[in-house]
Amino acid sequence: MNFKLPFVPEQASAAASEVDNLTFFLVGMSTFFTVLIAAMIIFFAIKYRRKSADGVGSSFENSPLLEITWTVIPLLVALFTFAWGLKVFFRLYRPPANAVEYQVTGKQWMWKIQHPTGQREINELHVPIGQPTRLVMTSEDVIHSFFVPAFRVKADVLPGRFTSLWFLPTKAGRYHLFCTEFCGTQHSGMTGWVVVQSPEEYQAWLASAPGPKAPSADGAQLFAQYACNTCHKPGPGGRGPILHGIFGTEVALADGGTVKVDDAYLRESILMPSARIVQGYEPIMPAFQGQISEEAMQQLIEYIKNPPPADAATAGTTPASRGNSR
Amino acid sequence: MNAITATAERPNFLTAEHGLKSWLLTLDHKRVAILYLISVSCYFLLGGIFAMLVRIELMTPAGDLMLPDTYNRVFTGHGVTMVFFFLIPAIPGILGNFLIPLMIGAKDVAFPRLNLASWYLYMTGGSLMLLGTLNGGVDTGWTFYPPYSSSYTTTNVLIVGIGVFINGFSSILTGLNFMVTIHRMRCPGMTWFRLPLFIWGHYATSLMMVLGTPVIAITLLLLVMERLFHLGIFDPAKGGDPILFQHLFWFYSHPAVYIMILPSMAVISELVACFSRKRIFGYHFVAFASIGIAVLGFVVWGHHLYVSGQSVYAGTIFSLLTMLVAIPSAVKVFNWSMTLYQGSVSLETPMLYALGFIGLFTIGGLTGVFLGTLGFDVHVHDTYFVVAHFHYVMVGGTIMGYLGGLHFWWPKITGRCYPEFWAKISALLVFVGFNLTFFPQFLLGYMGMPRRYHAYPPEFQVLNILSTAGASVLAVGFVLPTIYFLWSLKSGRPAGNNPWGARGLEWETSSPPPTQNFDSTPSVSREPYDYFEAAEEAAGRATPPAHSH
């Protein structure tokens, strides 16, 4: 679309025009029904206005045909609307497999963001055009919500669990980032910018940004610091499962069930290890509930997901080399 | 069935007894209604002052009138006061209490003492809320989401939460009382399908009050436990789940939206029938639409959680159910509109409110379909679009119905007429002011302005100024009736028993009614809104039906 409609925010993601098209349909449909009802009321109120003080209405007070009509037509319209909304919704929340992951942590009252290549930002997120981008988000305190109007996406950011959203930026520019779940005094100050750049500009920005160390590299240090590597290692001393390569797989549990290893399961296993024990292992791991920050948690999980190449074979005992394999 | 002319100076419910004590210990449902009228109006004024403060702050992008903490307390005060102490009790407490026994030909509600107790519970809850407000207020929003409300804020969540908790029992007992009254107290001949639709609407409301309110009571109690005793229920740091709170909260608070709108729809049915002098089109469909809304209203709460981290499949189910609840509302709107067809329509003040209601509720309801649509909601969730939508339903719906009903039955309640000219001006101001206030907020929401923002980016300013201008017009529209209603008490023209030429038992007794409502137990021999039949009968073209079935 080349012209700019009033009251419609910039369309800067692939999903934006899909949401807007749905909106146009909803507005058109509602205008039709509103005008229809207003016209009925105004027309009848004039045509059948009271002509004498003791005038009364007719005895026409029932029509099964009309009742069926104005039940079935709105129902069909509503079901059609539901289906269209569902299609857009799944599009909004199902990231493609090649989406690049960024870590987002909300806290009163700022957004902390870490790039897959390690750069950190506060209240700003730089992303390149054309890169499917997935945000994995958590909160250090209360509930927040990550909203970029120009992308038409939003997801609540919760303490104690991960939520995610994704978008495909299509247009360079600076776009508002708002917190949309009330989070206390400076709620309306918990805003920032999403900066969409061309891939070249983005690379240049990455090179100039501070702290180019991948979260998985931080994770490797933490893996040693918390002494995870004393048990989660191959060989006779390995009293815990080997974690590298485990992400995304199904593992058998001691109680006979299975679980898919995802962010949520890794998180639970760190905080409350005895909740779901992998088959063949003893529940000997200490719980880390309350001892590990949300950022550290994300870095550990990143490390388990993407061990730096040097560590992949053994459970990381050496600090990671630069960057990760992505 | 013609009205019996009232004998002058006969004692009515207002003059039967005198003194403050006779009011505070009254068992008369009509006097309890007056108690609600006075107290609910005070809370409406308080909520309105909060609203004006919010609108004045939002005239400029910078947060320059109040500190952020003050602003957060003001919008929370607005929400808590309006939702729990105005919108929920207004129509059932005032019009429901006054009219249900009159409309079904009863002397009083089934449990008059319980009825008075409900008002005292309301006042106790309201006083605690006021105490909390005077002590600095609450800054969580009326939704009280944890862990902010349970572990972070230092404001008066406990006292206000307990106030809302106690107020809930007022709702539960009122609902129970109405249900028993409607089941047990109907006069001879008043079968279920001869009930005015006002009664059907209040029956559906009562059902929701009795079944839904205990859930919010439990939820607030759990919140208080977490805040006071640090039990881990909702705060993940203590081992709780914050989404659990949202499910429990909306399990009540979505039905609460229908608790607010159904009584208003009940009023609209009466107004449209009376001012069209015609039976409501599709009476049975309108009656069962109320019940349909009450039942479906309980299974749509998850549409408040589309972006909360709830599973996308849960979102799918809730979206589908939300679409279904739109249908009975649409059926009602079409039937009201069709009632005007071949009617004898006169546009007196109550009818202006009724037609205004239909227009605004149509927009409120349709934007509800917008929000129920998954892919659309994600973008506008927690923005001003949502604020605009629920004000169209709550203000455009509930308040339009409340004011329309108050104007309609004011002559019955007080025996006096209000000045029609000023009332029409006020109805017009409310309609115009309302649209000017809230329509720009739909646009703001789509542009991305989040709700509960003390300061905002400058590109949103123009629409915010329009909205504040509208709020000022709306305020005038609300102040005017206060003035002329009070004026009419002394100086209004005497109303007579039936100033509107309306059908229905409440119009057959004197205005104001005597304490026992009717001189002798009435009986009913026809369906309600029998304008056509009564006119035929008067013209000698039909014979009156045999009494009592």
Does residue A84 share a domain with residue A223? no
Contact B148 A182 (CB under 8 A): yes
On whether both A204 and A142 belong to a single domain, the answer is yes
Query: Do the Cβ atoms of B453 and A19 come within 8 Å?
Result: no
Residue B23 lies in a domain: no
- B35/chain A closest Cα distance in angstroms: 36
Q: Quick check: B147 and A41 CB within 8 A?
A: no
Asked if the structure places residue A317 within a domain, the reply is: no
Residue B285 to chain A, least CA–CA distance (Å): 8
Question: Band of the pLDDT at B82, cuts 50, 70, 90?
Answer: very high
- What average pLDDT is seen over chain B? 94
Which chain B residue lies closest to A289 (C-alpha atoms)? B237
Report the alpha-carbon distance of residue B47 to residue A12 in Å, rounded.
40
Residue B5 within a domain: no
User: In terms of domains, do A240 and A160 share one?
Assistant: no
Nearest beta carbon to residue B382 from set A87, A90, A145: A145
Q: What backbone torsions phi and psi does residue B165 show, to the nearest 5 degrees?
A: -60, -50
For residue A284, being part of any structural domain is answered with yes
Q: Which chain A residue is nearest to residue B453, measuring alpha carbons?
A: A188
Question: Using a CB-CB distance cutoff of 8 angstroms, which residues of chain A are in contact with residue B141?
Answer: 182
Residues B497-549 pLDDT 10s: 999 999 999 999 999 999 999 999 999 999 999 999 999 988 887 766 655 44
Cβ-Cβ contacts under 8 Å for B237 (sequence gap 6 or more): A159, A160, A290, B147, B151
**C-alpha–C-alpha distance, residues B376 and A27, integer Å:** 11
Minimal C-alpha gap between A292 and chain B (Å): 12
- Boundary (domain end) residue, out of A178, A212, A246: A212
Say which residue, B234 or B539, is predicted with more confidence: B234
Instruction: Identify the residue among A24, A44, A47, A263 best suited for mutation to test binding to B, counting B beta carbons within 10 A and taking the highest.
Output: A44
CB contact under 8 A, B334 and A66: yes
Residue from the list B236, B277, B319 with its beta carbon closest to the beta carbon of A57: B277
Task: State whether residue B524 is helix, strand or coil.
Answer: coil
Q: How would you class B548 by CB atoms within 10 Å of its CB: exposed for 0-12, middle for 13-18, buried for 19 or more?
A: exposed
Check: CB of residue B412 under 8 Å from CB of residue B507. yes
A183 shares a domain with A247: no
The secondary structure element, H or E, covering residue B404 is helix B400-414
Q: Are B278 and A56 in contact (CB under 8 A)?
A: yes
Distances (CA, A) of A159 to A162, B239, B430: 8, 11, 43
* A39: amino acid identity, one letter: A
Distance from CA of A231 to the nearest CA of B (A): 27
Co-location of A150 and A72 in the same domain: yes
In a domain, A325, yes or no: no
Is there a domain that residue A126 lies in?
Answer: yes
Cα–Cα dist B185/A123, whole Å: 64
- Choosing among A156, A157, A178, A183, which should be mutated to test the B contact, i.e. which has the most B CBs within 10 A? A156
Residues A99 and A205 occupy one common structural domain: yes
Tens digit of pLDDT per residue, chain A (326 long)? 456 788 999 999 999 999 999 999 999 999 999 999 999 999 999 999 999 988 999 999 999 999 999 999 999 999 999 999 999 999 998 999 999 999 999 999 999 999 998 888 999 999 999 999 999 999 999 999 999 999 999 999 999 999 999 999 999 999 999 999 999 999 999 999 999 999 999 999 998 877 656 677 788 888 888 888 888 888 777 788 888 888 888 988 988 889 999 888 888 888 888 888 888 888 888 888 878 888 888 888 888 887 765 544 444 333 333 333 33
Predicted pLDDT of residue A228: 85
Q: Closest chain B residue to A39 measured between Cα atoms?
A: B337
Q: Do residues A235 and A253 both lie within one domain?
A: yes
Please answer yes or no on whether B309 and A184 come within 8 Å at the CB atom. Answer: no
Q: In the listed set A190, A212, A234, which residue is the last one of a domain according to the structure? A: A212
Whether B271 is covered by a domain: the verdict is: yes
**Residue B539 included in any domain:** no
Nearest-CA distance from A252 to chain B in Å? 24
Dist CA A93 CA A163 (whole Å):
10
Asked if residue B19 belongs to a domain, the reply is no
Query: Do residue B309 and residue A185 have CB atoms under 8 angstroms apart?
Result: no
Average pLDDT over residues B376-401: 95
Tell me the residue range of the domain where A75 lies.
7-42+64-212
Of B277, B312, B345, the CB nearest to A45: B345
Average pLDDT, stretch B161-188? 97
The total number of structural domains that make up chain B: 1
pLDDT at A314: 44
Q: Are residues A243 and A189 in the same domain?
A: no
> Is A322 within the bounds of a domain?
no
Contacts of residue A150 in chain B, CB cutoff 8 Å?
Answer: 448
Q: Within this chain, do residues A149 and A219 fall inside the same structural domain, yes or no?
A: no
Task: Give, for B70, the enclosing helix (H) or strand (E).
Answer: helix B68-80
In a domain, A1, yes or no: no
Q: How far apart are the first and last CA of chain B?
A: 16
CB contact under 8 A, B72 and A184: yes
Instruction: Name chain A contacts of B337, Cβ cutoff 8 Å.
Output: 37, 40-41, 44
Asked if A48 and B345 come within 8 Å (Cβ–Cβ), the reply is yes
Name which of B305, B432, B438 is nearest B372 in CA terms.
B305
Domain C-terminal end among A212, A247, A276: A212
Please judge whether B306 and A89 are an interchain contact, meaning their C-beta atoms are less than 8 angstroms apart: yes
Residues A164 and A16 in one domain: yes
Distance from CA of B66 to the nearest CA of A (A): 12
A251 and B CB contact within 8 Å: no
Residue B307: give its domain's CATH number.
Answer: 1.20.210.10
Range of B286's domain?
A: 29-534
A192-197 β-sheet, strand order: A124-128, A192-197, A173-179, A144-148, A153-157
Q: Which of residues 284-323 of A touch B (CB under 8 A)?
A: 290
In a domain, B163, yes or no: yes
Concatenated DSSP letters of B306-345: TTTT--HHHHHHHHHHHHHHHHHHHHHHHHHHHHTTTS-B
Task: Sort out which chain B residues have CB atoms less than 8 A from A30's CB and list them.
Answer: 363, 366-367, 369-370
Is A16 found in the same domain as A135? yes
Can you give the pLDDT at residue B546? Answer: 57
Q: What is the mean pLDDT of residues B451-462?
A: 96
CATH of the domain at A15: 2.60.40.420
**How close, in Å, is residue A322 to chain B by CA atoms?**
34
On whether residue B383 sits in a domain, the answer given is: yes
Assigned domain for A136 exists: yes
Residue B437 to chain A, least CA–CA distance (Å): 17
Interchain contact, A56 vs B534, CB within 8 Å: yes
Question: How far is Cα B303 from Cα B326, in angstroms, rounded to an integer?
Answer: 13
For residue A124, give Cα distances in angstroms to A134, A136, A177, A178, B34: 15, 15, 8, 11, 57
User: Are residues B341 and A159, on separate chains, in Cβ contact within 8 Å?
Assistant: no
Looking at the structure, tell me whether residues A196 and A248 fall in a common domain.
no
pLDDT of residue B74: 97
Q: Does A7 touch chain B (CB under 8 A)?
A: yes
In a domain, B281, yes or no: yes
Position A251 in a domain: yes
Contact A85 B358 (CB under 8 A): no
All residues of chain B having their beta carbon less than 8 Å from the beta carbon of residue A290 are 237
Q: Can you tell me the distance from the alpha carbon of B112 to that of B29, in angstroms, rounded to the nearest whole number? A: 7
Percent of chain B with pLDDT over 70: 97
Domain count for chain A: 2
A186 part of contact set with chain B, CB < 8 Å: yes
